[in-house]
Chains A and B, each alone.
Chain A
Amino acid sequence: MATAEHAATTHQPDRRRYEGIWSWIFTVDHKKIGVMYGVTAVCFFLIGGIEALLIRSQLMFPNGKVVSPDQFNELFTMHGTTMIFLALMPLSVAFFNIVVPLQIGARDVAFPRLNAFSYWVYLFGGLLLNASYLFGGAPNAGWFGYANLTEVPYNHSSYGIDFWILGLQILGVSSMAGAFNFLVTIINARAPGMTFMRMPLFTWMTLVTSFLLILAFPVITVALVELMFDRLFATNFFNPAAGAEPILWQHLFWLFGHPEVYILILPAMGIISDVLPTFARKPLFGYPVVAYSGVAIAFMSWGVWAHHMFSAGLGPVANAVFSVTTMLIAVPTGIKIFNWIGTLWGGSINFKTPLLFALGFIAMFTIGGLSGVMLASPPADWLENDTYFVVAHIHYVLFGGTIFGLFAGIYYWFPKVTGRLLDERLGQIHFWLMLIGMNVTFAGMHVLGMEGMPRRIATYPPGMGWDTWNFIATIGAFTIAVGMLVFIYNFFASVRHGQVAGPDPWDGRTLEWSIPSPPPPYNFARIPIVRARDPFWVQKYGDAGHGHGRVVPMPVAGGAHDAEEARADEHGEGIHMPDPSYYPIVAALGLAVMLAGVILTNLILGNPPGTQPAWPPSWVAFVGLVVFLYGIYGWALEPVSGHSS
């Protein structure tokens, strides 16, 4: 990104510059932050994957002895928490960062420093959560941490739950900060002519997801705060002995938790809604309906949470209502699936890896959606609840759905970020290993669930009829792992030696393909004026390309005037980009230390878990507060120079 520095220094000689690693640590550039998000999320994905492989190794044979029951509890808790909060969500955010400003014709996000802050808070939160392994034991009460399994009387052998509570709160700050940023960026920083109904679907779904994030995360924050107070200050929020009802945790958690499911899937749906038209060389079928279905899903996701609690005994009326709302939410989802198929219908299909993953998404997500409709019926749910049937369902949705969608995005936008294509042959091998691997792993789990194998059991005796499918599932899990190794090799090989992509390797439709790969720091030398949906396609081929799948080549870009201006701006001269800043990382570090201090002081003093922190406030937290305030004040008082556009 040295060119930006170069361009700007011609105007501001005293401008701060950072080289090498510091240019990443202090960056406020949305593309660099997106890359850091992506790399970090893939690392956590691998950690979560290793946890999954340990789980599958333990269950490969009856009476498994690979890990102890306690370690098994930690593994499935950390696997779920890591995959959801540290891998899938941040990987979606990586795409928000890299793609959204490019798709709406912006030079950066609305709040570049807040964006850097989100990333660093995410990193520190993830590290804190995983540090629990080093300090006596990881969280062990499942990713949804039901009270009172998480309360001190039942869980005091380690600080694991405290790490979990504080880690998730820190990650919540990161998610919300990011969501505020993208909400404002999408509503308020679009290029002229980029109306809502011209926005690419990925940008649409990012907007919807941002609304879900800022409204859902406060709810889990309150639940976590109440649990934290129960553990540290002996309050009674989930203490039945004081008249409380631990089921309050379930309501608060799932009131967050179900929107969270759509926070995980909507960005992936957005990705494939952009990938399918590109590789079918046709506009998205029923664009407005696909967009509005995403909005409808987001609204309805607030009215279905108790379907996670059918077996908790809410009564027939509540169960019936939530059963109906849950089945209803399948309608907009089904509409999307039909529209994706309609997009492919009659298209001139270009079978590249991104499309393969998108097709995999449609097929696998449909299977997961159907088992979801089965679970929406309370009588069926009572049989399947807490069995491997639910494990199969969640993995068809989140692995077959979200992860396939995210990999479609990785193969699709990798050339935009790096300037080089991922190797196509290795990509296809990766896809088939993943597709076969996930079906071998998870399809049999439906059967295991029907045969009554409960989830979260550390081992099982032989002769239950579960041996075969468990063995097969483990084989599948290692197949997925091989697929991931292929991907990692492909990644490193292609970053260095991949085929040079050029600005528009896929014959793209949206604005990100109209600029060089990798994009210059200022993205657009000239802010584009958008005159149609799929603006770059229309610019290339004219309106005739719409609806017919027939391309009508036209001269690229506008007239001579445009070309002249583009040349004048070739080096982005006169474009002021935001300065790098170190306050975001300082504030993020302070925040993490402040919250971690709540447990660290007890840990350092050697107090047992659940001890009330020393008062006056634990000194580590105090140090964190001072650092945090320094970061925030420095941030607020830092001159904002060279704002984009």
Chain B
Amino acid sequence: MAEASLGGHAAAVETTTGLDHRKMVMWAFLGSECLFFGSLISTYLVYRNRSLTGPFPQDTFDIPYTSVSSFVLLMSSLTMVLALAAIQRGNVRGMRTWLVATGLLGSVFLGGQVYEFTTFIAHGLSLSRNLFGTTFFVLTGFHGAHVTVGVVILFSLFLNSLRGKLTRENSLVVELAGLYWHFVDVVWVVIFTVVYLLPY
């Protein structure tokens, strides 16, 4: 990521494996992130059904609502793919459209999360209320923070492309953002399954 220039100046570097340094470090970073979310999810699982007081998950979750926002996030992976496909064909205008679409879908998901958190807090759940509140808010909150970073990256790429800095030659930058974005999506699939769908 270090040399991941949003501008168009990244020099092509000859590497041992033929894989760009930046792509390799992104994969390594995502491997590291697996352990990060793995530890948070493990904590959630260890404390599952261990709350001494309510509100409990079964009184709290609105699964149809969260399914819709999960669907929105999954669709954003599709638009991300379309953005990368566009720039790899040299279609800058198409890439801009799909980058914005991806960022907006991500924002919708985040808005849904804010609404969900607000509703839960109104129902008496909080960070300190019980183990469920503690583990739920911290796990999904860190995921939301990752989505937020992703949205910021997507809009930064969009703004940079308006300056004409994003071309077919450095489509790798879009690819890297895509790798991160898909990873964050996949993590949500796991979180949604483990936290919401598994029956309590």
Report which A residues bind B (CB closer than 8 A).
110-115, 117, 176, 180-181, 183-184, 187-190, 194, 214-219, 221-223, 225-226, 229, 233-237, 242-245, 248, 252, 255, 633, 635-645
Interface contacts beyond A180-B28, A242-B51, A637-B5: sample of 16 additional A-B pairs, CB < 8 Å, sorted by A? A110-B25, A111-B1, A115-B2, A183-B25, A187-B17, A188-B15, A214-B31, A226-B43, A234-B128, A243-B50, A245-B46, A640-B5, A640-B11, A641-B11, A642-B11, A643-B11
Please give me the residue from chain B that is nearest to A576 by CB atom: B11
Query: Within 8 Å of chain A (Cβ to Cβ): is B131?
Result: yes
- Interface residue B36 (Cβ < 8 Å from any Cβ of A): yes
Contacts of B10 in A (CB 8 A): 640
- Number of chain B residues close to chain A: CB under 8 A: 46
| A-chain residues with CB within 8 Å of residue B127 when the two chains form the complex | 229, 233-235
Determine whether the beta carbon of B2 is less than 8 Å from that of A114: yes
Complex alpha-carbon distance, A248 and B46, angstroms: 9
Interface string of B1-31 (1 = CB under 8 A from A): 1111111011101111101010011001101
From known contacts A188-B24, A214-B28, infer whether A223 and B128 are also in contact, taking CB-CB under 8 Å: no
**Could you say which residues of chain B place their CB within 8 Å of the CB of A639?**
5, 7, 9
Quote the shortest CB–CB distance from B140 to chain A (angstroms): 14
- CB-nearest residue of chain A to B7: A637
Q: How far is the CA of A194 from the CA of B7 in the complex (A)?
A: 33
- How far is the CB of B74 from the nearest CB of chain A, in Å? 25
Per a CB cutoff under 8 Å, which of A112, A180, A642 touches B29? Answer: A180
Q: Which residues of B contact A225 (CB under 8 A)?
A: 138, 142
A219 neighbours in B (Cβ, 8 Å) = 35-36, 39
Determine whether the beta carbon of A218 is less than 8 Å from that of B39. yes
Chain B, 153-192, CB within 8 A of any chain A CB: 156, 160
Q: Is the CB of B3 within 8 A of A641?
A: no
Considering only CB atoms, which chain A residue lies closest to B46 in the complex? A248
Measured CA separation A215–B33 after assembly (Å)? 8
* Interface of chain A, main secondary structure: helix
Q: List 25 A-B contacts (CB under 8 A).
A: A111-B3, A112-B2, A113-B2, A180-B25, A180-B29, A187-B24, A188-B24, A189-B15, A190-B16, A217-B32, A218-B35, A222-B40, A226-B138, A229-B138, A236-B134, A237-B134, A237-B138, A242-B134, A243-B51, A248-B43, A255-B39, A636-B6, A636-B7, A637-B5, A637-B160
Task: Say how far B32's CB is from chain A's closest CB, in angstroms.
Answer: 4
* B31: contacting residue among A110, A215, A221, A636, CB under 8 A: A215
Q: How far is the CA of A515 from the CA of B46 in the complex (A)?
A: 55
Which chain A residue lies CB-closest to B36? Answer: A218
C-alpha spacing A215/B34, complex, angstroms: 8
Q: Are B134 and A636 neighbours in the complex by a CB distance under 8 Å?
A: no
Cβ of B194 to closest chain A Cβ, rounded Å: 16
Q: Is the CB of B32 within 8 A of A214?
A: yes
* Cβ-neighbour of B47 out of A180, A217, A244 (below 8 A): A244
- Report yes or no: A222 in contact with B25, Cβ–Cβ below 8 A: no
CA gap between A252 and B14 in the complex, in Å: 40
The reply to whether A111 and B43 contact each other, CB–CB distance below 8 Å, is: no
Q: Determine how close the nearest CB of chain A comes to the CB of B197; give it in whole angstroms.
A: 23
Q: B33 to chain A: which residues have CB within 8 Å?
A: 218
Residues B52 and A229 in contact, CB atoms below 8 Å apart: no
Q: Which residue of A lies closest to B29 (CB)?
A: A180
* Docked complex Cα distance between A106 and B129 (Å): 55
Q: Which 9 A-B pairs have the closest CB atoms?
A: A114-B2, A111-B2, A218-B36, A222-B39, A234-B128, A218-B35, A643-B11, A639-B9, A235-B134
Interface centre among A183, A236, A248, A640 (most CB of B within 10 A): A236
* CB of A192, distance to nearest CB on chain B (Å): 8
A188 touches B5 (CB 8 A): no
Given A117-B2, A643-B11, residue A236 in contact with residue B16 (CB < 8 A) = no
Residue in contact with A244 in the complex, picked from B7, B17, B131, CB distance below 8 Å: B131
Determine the residue in chain B with the shortest Cβ distance to A584.
Answer: B2
> What residues of chain A lie closer than 8 Å to B113, measured between beta carbons?
none
When distances are taken between beta carbons in the complex, the residues of chain A under 8 Å from B52 are 242-243
List of A residues within 8 angstroms of B11 by Cβ:
640-643
Assess whether B131 is in contact with A111, with CB atoms less than 8 Å apart. no
Q: Is B107 in the interface zone, CB < 8 Å from A?
A: no
Give the distance in Å from the alpha carbon of A268 to the alpha carbon of B77 in the complex.
Answer: 44
- Give the residues in chain A near B39, CB-CB below 8 Å: 218-219, 221-223, 252, 255
